[in-house]
Amino acid sequence: MRTAISLLGISSALALGGAILISPVPASAYTACHTSGDCWHTDSKVHFKGARISYHEDNWWDAHKSNTHYHWHEADSDHDANHGYWKSGEWHHE
């Protein structure tokens, strides 16, 4: 009887631990926009001296992607959002 109770306790703990491990964790994603109208995706809010950048929840991109005031940029190996920003159509590496 004691073995059955122990096995039940172990099984419950393993099931709970497994559920925690596979639970979805929301990713932090933002749309960053410079005052010049350049916007890009980023996973963190990085601030650069002298750069006026606003951050929006990532779904902001979808709601504004057809607005001609904004110029959309995609990340690639030459544009790391943690080390630079877009301004007036040019990449500024920091």
Mean pLDDT along residues 61-78: 90
Least confident of 15-19, 54-58, 75-79: 15-19
Overall domain count for the chain: 1
Residue 11 resides in a domain: no
Mean pLDDT along residues 66-83: 89
Q: Residue 67 sits in which domain range?
A: 30-93
Residue 87 resides in a domain: yes
CB under 8 A, 24+ apart: contacts of 60-69:
60/31, 61/31, 64/39, 69/37
Residue 74 resides in a domain: yes
Mean pLDDT along residues 72-86: 88
How many angstroms separate the CA atoms of 91 and 6, rounded? 61
pLDDT at 82: 87
Residue 25 resides in a domain: no
The chain-wide mean pLDDT, for the chain, equals 80
How many angstroms separate the CA atoms of 54 and 65, rounded? 16
* 12-50 pLDDT tens trace: 544 445 444 454 545 568 999 999 999 999 999 999 999
Nearest to 71 by CA among 30, 28, 35: 35
